[in-house]
Amino acid sequence: MTIWSWLRAAARPTAIVLSLGFGLAACTALPGDGPWMGGAATTTTEALPFDVIDLTPTTIANYRQPPPVDRPSTVSNLSAGSRISVAPGDAIKVRIFEPYEGSIFPTIQRPGADFGVQRVTDDGTINVPFVGTVKVAGLDLNQIEKKIGQQVSASGKAQDPQVIVEFVADRTHTVMVSGDVRQPGRVSLLEGVRTVVEAINKAGGPSGVGGQGGTGVGANQLEVVVRRNGQVILQSQYSDLLAGGDIGLQKNDEIVVRPNARMFTVLGAVVKAGNVDMPKHTISLLEAMGMVGGLNDARANKTGVYVFRMGDLQNNPTARARVFRLDLYQPVSIFIAQQFPVQPKDVVYITNAPLYEYDKILTSIYRTFSIVGVLRGNLITSTTF
Per-residue pLDDT tens over the stretch 133-163: 899 888 888 999 899 888 888 877 777 788 8
Between 355 and 198, residue with greater pLDDT: 198
Contacts of 126 (CB under 8 A, 6+ apart): 92, 94, 118, 119, 120, 133, 134, 136
What percentage of the chain reaches a pLDDT higher than 90? 26
Same fold, 37-65+282-352 and 91-169: no
Instruction: Give the torsion sign (CA, 374, 375, 376, 381).
Output: positive
What pLDDT is attached to residue 32?
A: 42
CA distances from 123 to 85, 135, 138, 166, 374 (A): 15, 8, 11, 20, 99
Q: Is the pLDDT of residue 189 over 70?
A: yes
CB distance 253 to 232 below 8 Å: no
Task: Give the mean pLDDT of 76-100.
Answer: 71
- Residue 265 pLDDT level (bands cut at 50, 70, 90): very high
Residues in a beta bridge with 195: 248
Task: Give the mean pLDDT of 237-259.
Answer: 89
* Least confident piece of the model among 278-287, 352-361, 374-383: 374-383
Contacts of 163 (CB under 8 A, 6+ apart): 94, 95, 96, 97, 144, 145, 146, 148, 149, 152
Chain Cα centroid distance, residue 8:
68
Q: Is 302 helix (H, G, I), strand (E, B) or coil?
A: strand
What pLDDT is attached to residue 24?
A: 41
Is the overall model pTM greater than 0.85, yes or no? no
Q: Is the pLDDT of residue 119 over 90?
A: no
Question: Measured between alpha carbons, how far is 252 from 79 in angstroms, rounded to an integer?
Answer: 10
What percentage of the chain reaches a pLDDT higher than 70? 66
CATH number for the domain formed by residue range(s) 174-259:
3.10.560.10
Task: Give the mean pLDDT of 296-315.
Answer: 82
Q: Is the pLDDT of residue 266 over 90?
A: yes
Residues in a beta bridge with 237: 223
Instruction: Give the torsion sign (CA, 179, 181, 186, 189).
Output: negative
Q: Which fold has domain 37-65+282-352?
A: Outer membrane lipoprotein wza fold like (3.10.560)
Write the pLDDT tens digit of every residue in 5-45: 433 443 344 443 334 444 444 444 434 454 544 554 544 54
Where in the chain are the domains?
Answer: 3-31+358-384, 37-65+282-352, 91-169, 174-259
Q: Is the pLDDT of residue 2 over 50?
A: no
Task: Give the mean pLDDT of 350-373.
Answer: 58
Give the other-Cβ count within 10 Å of 205's Cβ.
Answer: 20
What pLDDT is attached to residue 48?
A: 59
Pairing of strands 174-179, 254-259: parallel
Highest mean pLDDT among 39-53, 109-123, 177-191: 177-191
Instruction: Taking each helix axis as running N to C, give the angle between helix 354-384 and helix 3-29, from 0 to 180 degrees, rounded to the nearest 10.
Output: 160
Between 90 and 177, residue with greater pLDDT: 177
Task: Give the mean pLDDT of 361-384.
Answer: 52
* H helix runs in 30-140, sequence order: 37-42
Between 85 and 41, residue with greater pLDDT: 85
Question: Measured between alpha carbons, how far is 294 from 273 in angstroms, rounded to an integer?
Answer: 10
What pLDDT is attached to residue 7?
A: 32
Phi-psi region of 229 (alpha: psi -120 to 50; beta: other; left: phi over 0): left
What pLDDT is attached to residue 376?
A: 52
What pLDDT is attached to residue 233?
A: 92
Question: Measured between alpha carbons, how far is 48 from 37 in angstroms, rounded to an integer?
Answer: 18
What pLDDT is attached to residue 77?
A: 44
Q: Which fold has domain 91-169?
A: wza like fold (3.30.1950)
Question: Measured between alpha carbons, how far is 271 from 293 in angstroms, rounded to an integer?
Answer: 5
- Average pLDDT of the chain, as a whole number: 75
Write the pLDDT tens digit of every residue in 50-80: 788 999 999 998 887 766 555 544 454 444 4
